[in-house]
Structure 1
Amino acid sequence: MRAFLTIGRVLGLSALAAVPSAVMAAGAIEGEAVRQPTNWTAIGMFAVFVVLTLFITKWAAGRTKSAADFYTAGGGITGFQNGLAIAGDYMSAASFLGISAAVMASGFDGLIYSIGFLVGWPILTFLMAERLRNLGKFTFADVAAFRFEQTPVRMFAAISTLVVVAFYLIAQMVGAGQLIKLLFGLEYWVAVVIVGGLMMIYVLFGGMTATTWVQIIKACLLLGGASFMAFMVMSAYGFSFERLFAESVRIKTDIATGAGQAPDEAATAGRSIMGPGNFVKDPISAISFGMALMFGTAGLPHILMRFFTVPSAKEARKSVMWATVWIGYFYMLTFIIGFGAITFVLTNPAFLEGGVLGAPLIGGNNMAAVHLANAVGGNIFLGFISAVAFATILAVVAGLTLSGASAVSHDIYATVVRKGHADSAAELRVSRITVLALGVVTVLLGILFEKQNIAFMVSLAFAVAASANFPVLFLSLLWSGMTTRGAVIGGFLGLISSVVLTVLSPSVWEATLGNEAGSAPFPYTSPALFSMTLAFLGIWLFSVTDKSRRAAIDKAGYVPQQIRSETGIGAAAASAH
């Protein structure tokens, strides 16, 4: 049963732009994981999932004949299917474990994750989804570079995409490697190689079609598992939120009393879970944190790429609508699961270190949802949730690899190197070579980072997406005065500053690099407020001061771009070539 109790440590808290250092430290891998008795139930469910997805890949391989099939499933995914696939991309195992853990630890404040992630979707729905589908072909760089000089803008977009993908991939590979290691009792490096091999098979042969259907299946499994957990929690309290919250406050009060707090202080500590202030304490961090969660969503390359898998702008809007429905529902479930963990897990000695009430959870707070799965469904349901956690990681890894491969083959090779004259077969060949290269590099880095804090890599991906990709994409769509020089310099300012400030923040400087507490040069845990502002200012300044001949061409191209983005005129013809 306890074979999975250290998974949370390697998954980190969530795919967040930045997390306070105390939480980040909880995501660290500390030393060698202790091998536990093999969970044959989980292994059986894991095997069923792998066999099923390999059949999907074989089916998808027969439908993958061109670059368009490989990158975007030939544009043949419906809005409903794509909405489920986007939700599958977004509802990571780290998010599932991390948000419920944050709610269990901080109560009401844990909602900042759910709300922050969710409010990014209206931005995509109303400002970007339709325009992306009408302007783009395979990648978000198609949109960002639509009216600008192709080579510099696409090089920036490809580099930014690869940075986001690299940090995401390493974190997911380490998490999956640890999970397989614990399932089968294998050496860690063997586990990482197995995961990397499966990921390359899915993407190499099935492309976007296989990746999409793996995401859809995974989303359904995760939604079903989370729904069952939430149902069992609520049924124990007569489906009354008031009773659930009251019991949670009582338990938190008892724990505080057991820790030696005075009765009044303990009562205040118990009630504090129903109000803000436990988690994000200063306004700057709260604003920066929220900005990263919101705008990072609109800059993630593997999410943006999904808008090109649907046949029309109408289906793109529909896919965002469905994605918002499923993601919003999922985050409501994680809130219930978090409070359920307070009442089912914190009161059960079997899940606490030393079996002592008030002691830390076995495996850390990130194991709240896994313990709750065991509490409400026994060993079989624990095996199911563990298999779903692996399915989640594998599906996210496949989507990330595909977006990284498209950045190299489509943005760099086909457009920059071949000047738009590469044939579909050559582009597809380069893409598959890139998948192999990315897979090998990711496996090697996954092995290298086995004992490192991987949460900061995931948070860095969100910070980069919000600070580099989003400003360039947003202003290229909505500001006629933007120029190539502004896009490239402003974009790189956001990219570099987000990476540097994250490294200088307490989350990395102190928690990961081991420097003295309070010594971090950048005092805030999230760089987004500063790096995003720098990117927008850089784009504006270097655009308005650009008096070159190219700048005039860039500005003149805004009206034709706007017409196509709003009406879709010309989009079908462009997609066909």
Structure 2
Amino acid sequence: MEAGYQIPITALVLIGLMLAFTVVTTVMFRKQKTSADYYLAGRKVNSFINASAISSDYLSAASFLGVAGVAFLFGFDGIIYALGFFVGYIALLLFLASPLRKFGRYTVPDFVSERFHSKTARILGVVGVLFISLFYMAPQMLGAGKVMGLLLGMEYKTAIIVIALIITVYVTVGGMKGTTVNQLVQFWILFGAMFLLAFIPFVIKGYTYTDVVQFLASFKGPAPEAGKMFDGAAYTSPGFWLTSLKDTLSLLLALMFGTAGLPHILVRFYTAPDGKAARRTVIYVLLLIGMFYILSPYVGHVIRYIYLQGDTLGVSQHQMAWLADNGQNLAVPVAGSYFGGQILLGIVVAGAFAAILSTVAGLIIACAGAIGHDLVVNVFNPTMPEVSRVKVARVASVFVGLLGIPLGLWAENMQIAILVGLAFAIAASTFFPVLVMGVWWPRMTKNGACAGLVVGITGSFAMILGKDMLPTFLQFNNPGGFVMLVSFLAIYVASKLEVASKGEAALPHDTKEVMAILHGPERA
């Protein structure tokens, strides 16, 4: 801990109250008799509660800390994250929510396996779930480490270990029922925090968006970040960060359609009682997250406005140092301290913890389902009794939860929203094309599904990790949109070739029945 740093007691009390509620809820829902209880809360979650839980699951550190942070960092270009994250739910509503619930399985690999009667497709689906979820978990742990450092002056490594252990315990014990109740409360904490961060400067302080943007656009000179200059005209115009049309389109496509391929979001629609409830849930989610994404870019721009003015009233030297070094991730808690002192800082940090706890919990459940239900049970031991399946689910949850520690350490110096965007790139490239084509194209075959998953997984990883080795025209800040289009093409070509080779026998034998289930009236 830094010398002279005072721990904000009020903030700690609020965090403690939220964690105490989490513990009580976890203990209350610790008993799960079947794997459906553990993974899906018995499929009995009503639409509004489910929508709040999904919104909490979705509004991760990327949204609560990252969207305002990327707006603080990149100005106009940062708004694309708020736009893409929101529009993704429209694609989910139009294409997938109701048909997937009607199909009535547990997980995304369940769908691809049962739709095409292929263990290979199931295994590839498991690989996709793990890659997407672990890529998504890394920035959540990054957010946890940064916020704990701001709040307690705690070392980043120590903070990562503490948070990973807390989340692992409460998910492993409480399952989906406990996680859903916690996510419901956590959503309203994080939404309330963001609402206050926008309400106080806009209504009480009178910082209209017009005044803020005009000041930023006219500012040109040294920025508080050491050794950096700030060009306000570029900051408030397109092209400050996204310097090409191909980068902008690929990122936007990844954010939009990656949402409809996120395993921890899709699995929540299986908790709805029926397809109609799943559609209603998505509409509620659109309303809730839409309000959130209107507020968060404004908060990022307001804190940049205050930062450039040099007005640090209410912000400690410790927090200003964090803002100069980590404004990309910590603009939101510093805004809380500036506008509301310890109390609002406490609410904001509680909101950040709520976002992180909720999302990582959802990711652990999704990964546990992929490992326990899809791999251990359906591939290796289909006759396993229900009691053993719940035990496998708990062991898988512990394993995945503890993986958050190395992932958080790896992500320490990255930007939260940008890193999450790469998880969206993998989701948009793998599950979105396979699910959309599997739901809406009766001529899709097993080889088409496997080709789409292989191209999506390998293509997105190659273009993310091997970016510098590729030709310039194939280098993207986020390759999700490009690889997604290639994955769609691979599905189409592989399916056509298999039908040309085997005739109608290449199609799953129950295609007509499955299509009737997906698009017909709800089954009793």
Which AA in structure 2 matches 1:435? S
Q: Which residue of 1 aligns with 2:459?
A: 497
Q: Which residue of 1 aligns with 2:220?
A: 256
Which AA in structure 1 matches 2:299? I
Q: Is residue 2:89 matched to residue 1:121?
A: yes
Unaligned runs of 5+ in 1: 4-32, 260-265, 510-517, 573-577
Q: How far, CA to CA, are the matches of 1:480 and 1:292 in structure 2?
A: 25
Q: Is residue 2:341 matched to residue 1:378?
A: yes
How much does 1:344 deviate? 3.3
1:58 aligns with one of 15, 27, 42? 27
Q: Which residue of 2 aligns with 1:524?
A: 476
User: Is this contact kept in 2: 1:504–1:520, CA < 8 A?
Assistant: no
* Map 1:121-270 → 2, pairs under 5 A: 121-180=89-148, 183-184=151-152, 188-236=156-204, 238=206, 241=208, 244-253=209-218, 255-256=219-220, 270=232
How much does 1:185 deviate? 5.0
Q: Which residue of 2 aligns with 1:24?
A: none
How much does 1:546 deviate? 0.8
Unaligned runs of 5+ in 2: 224-229
1:546 aligns with one of 498, 503, 509? 498
Q: How far, CA to CA, are the matches of 2:366 and 2:514 in structure 1?
A: 24
How much does 1:282 deviate? 1.1
Q: Is residue 2:524 matched to residue 1:560?
A: no
Which AA in structure 1 matches 2:492? W
* Map 1:72-471 → 2, pairs under 5 A: 72-180=40-148, 183-184=151-152, 188-236=156-204, 238=206, 241=208, 244-253=209-218, 255-256=219-220, 270=232, 275-350=237-312, 361=324, 363-418=326-381, 420-447=382-409, 449=410, 451=412, 453=414, 455=416, 457-471=419-433
Query: In the comparison of the two structures, how many residue pairs are matched?
Result: 514
How much does 1:273 deviate? 5.4
Q: Which residue of 2 aligns with 1:514?
A: none
Deviations 1:338-375 (A, max 9, x none): 332244343234289999x9x98353343322222122
User: Is this contact kept in 1: 2:38–2:175, CA < 8 A?
Assistant: yes
User: Is this contact kept in 1: 2:60–2:358, CA < 8 A?
Assistant: no
Q: How far, CA to CA, are the matches of 1:373 and 1:177 in structure 2?
A: 18
User: Is this contact kept in 1: 2:33–2:386, CA < 8 A?
Assistant: no
How much does 1:237 deviate? 5.9
Which AA in structure 2 matches 1:249? Q
1:475 aligns with one of 433, 437, 446? 437
Are residues 551 and 483 of structure 1, via their aligned partners in 2, closer, same or farther at CA, if it must alter by over 3 Å? farther
How much does 1:498 deviate? 0.1
Which AA in structure 1 matches 2:386? S
How much does 1:555 deviate? 4.4
How much does 1:72 deviate? 0.7
Which AA in structure 1 matches 2:130? L
Deviations 1:191-242 (A, max 9, x none): 3332222212211121111111121111101111111121112114658x4x
Q: How far, CA to CA, are the matches of 2:472 and 2:350 in structure 1?
A: 39
How much does 1:118 deviate? 1.1
Q: How far, CA to CA, are the matches of 1:337 and 1:148 in structure 2?
A: 47
Deviations 1:397-424 (A, max 9, x none): 1110000000011111222223x43332
User: TM-score, normalised on structure 2?
Assistant: 0.89
SS in 1 for 2:29: helix
Q: Which residue of 1 aligns with 2:227?
A: none
Are residues 223 and 415 of structure 1, via their aligned partners in 2, closer, same or farther at CA, if it must alter by over 3 Å? same
After TM superposition, the structure 1 stretch with the greater mean CA deviation from structure 2, 402-411 or 497-506, is: 497-506
Which AA in structure 2 matches 1:330? F
SS in 1 for 2:115: coil
Which AA in structure 1 matches 2:465? V
How much does 1:377 deviate? 0.8
Which AA in structure 1 matches 2:22? T
RMSD: 3.0
User: Is this contact kept in 2: 1:81–1:216, CA < 8 A?
Assistant: yes
Question: Percent identical across equivalent pairs?
Answer: 31
Which AA in structure 2 matches 1:500? A
Which AA in structure 2 matches 1:567? G
Deviations 1:92-139 (A, max 9, x none): 123222222333344443321111111111111121110010013211
Q: Which residue of 2 aligns with 1:14?
A: none
Q: How far, CA to CA, are the matches of 1:346 and 1:257 in structure 2?
A: 9
User: Is this contact kept in 1: 2:275–2:522, CA < 8 A?
Assistant: no
Q: How far, CA to CA, are the matches of 1:84 and 1:102 in structure 2?
A: 25
After TM superposition, the structure 1 stretch with the greater mean CA deviation from structure 2, 207-216 or 421-430, is: 421-430
User: TM-score, normalised on structure 1?
Assistant: 0.82
Are residues 258 and 196 of structure 1, via their aligned partners in 2, closer, same or farther at CA, if it must alter by over 3 Å? closer
Deviations 1:511-568 (A, max 9, x none): xxxxxxx997943211123211221111111111114669726344322111111235
User: Is this contact kept in 2: 1:505–1:521, CA < 8 A?
Assistant: no
Deviations 1:463-509 (A, max 9, x none): 11010111111111111111111111221111101011011336xx8
Q: Which residue of 1 aligns with 2:226?
A: none
User: Is this contact kept in 1: 2:217–2:236, CA < 8 A?
Assistant: no
Q: How far, CA to CA, are the matches of 2:484 and 2:245 in structure 1?
A: 17
Which AA in structure 1 matches 2:271? T
1:536 aligns with one of 488, 491, 507? 488
Q: How far, CA to CA, are the matches of 1:405 and 1:165 in structure 2?
A: 11
How much does 1:153 deviate? 1.1
Which AA in structure 2 matches 1:361? A
Q: Is residue 2:8 matched to residue 1:47?
A: no
Are residues 40 and 550 of structure 1, via their aligned partners in 2, closer, same or farther at CA, if it must alter by over 3 Å? farther
How much does 1:249 deviate? 1.4
